[in-house]
A and B are shown apart, each in its own frame.
Chain A
Amino acid sequence: MGRTAGPPFDPTKQRDVTLSALKHIPDAKSPGEVLVLPHRWAANDDWKDGVMQKDSRLPRHDEPQYQTPTDADAADPACPTCVFLTA
């Protein structure tokens, strides 16, 4: 999880992941098909040991959670490209 479109800083594999998905569209026969790619994201599978072994979710704040404080300072509160929906 968190690396859906390919390994970080590997534009060659990232390109193949995205291009493979797009190329599969005309060939898809049913919704939900899974195309298995030959790529490996990591050199070994040690990372699997730690996946979902504890609750690592962050607290669920109601306020915007910026990556950096600088981002908060740069944010335009009127943000014309932010679309807030009423659910």
Chain B
Amino acid sequence: MSNPTEGQDSGRQPPVDYIERTRAVYSSKGYAPYQWVRNEPMPLASTDRPMSEWRVGLVASGGIYALGQVAFHFRDDVSYREIHRDTPTEDLRITHFAYDYADARHDPNVVFPLATLRALANEGAIGSVSERAYTFMGGIYSARKVRDTLAPALADRLVVDDVDVALMVPV
């Protein structure tokens, strides 16, 4: 891999301090200091199979749904959508209340790389794309609902689908 600083010049800004800016926006609205979720890291799992044999699952939080499906709502929606791996990109839609989806609505691959994974499978870099991808609207303020309801349900589906690895795509 090339040097990550390659191409940088003096006009570059440092990384955006999202945490500090979030604190500033919330305090300007009179909210109490934001309580960040602290998740305990899980031990790494491994697979003995080579990548060319992996069945790869895809889970994305960018509010993606397919034409014909019910869209997400914006108040702690803990539902999820199953999206078939062969769904045409032009049938994918985006809805979310808290991120800039302007590009994603024109090119859903930027938050839901299903076509990218299909191409990797076609060229043999991975074994296959799992038959169903899973999506949800990640603007859920209840950490408890995510931890106790949504996340276990998605994990169960990935186990049933017998994926070797799952690509999780936040926004």
Interface residues on A, range: 35 or more
* In the complex with contacts A4-B111, A36-B4, A60-B74, A82-B93 CB distance below 8 A: no
- Pick the residue among A4, A59, A68, A86 that contacts B97 (CB under 8 A): A59
Establish whether residues A22 and B103, one from each chain, have CB atoms under 8 Å apart when the complex forms: no
By beta carbon, the residue of chain A nearest B165 is A25
How far does the alpha carbon of A40 sit from the alpha carbon of B51 in the complex, in Å? 26
**Cβ–Cβ < 8 Å partners of A38 in chain B:** 1-4, 6-7
Residues of chain A with a CB closer than 8 A to B3's CB? 38
Q: 6 closest Cβ contacts across the A-B interface?
A: A52-B21, A31-B41, A64-B71, A87-B145, A58-B97, A8-B107
Q: Which residues of B line the A interface, CB within 8 A?
A: 1-4, 6-7, 11-13, 16, 18, 21-22, 24-25, 28-29, 41-44, 46-47, 51, 54, 56, 62, 66-76, 78-84, 93-95, 97-107, 109-113, 115-117, 119-120, 125-126, 139, 142, 144-145, 148-150, 153, 165, 167, 169-171
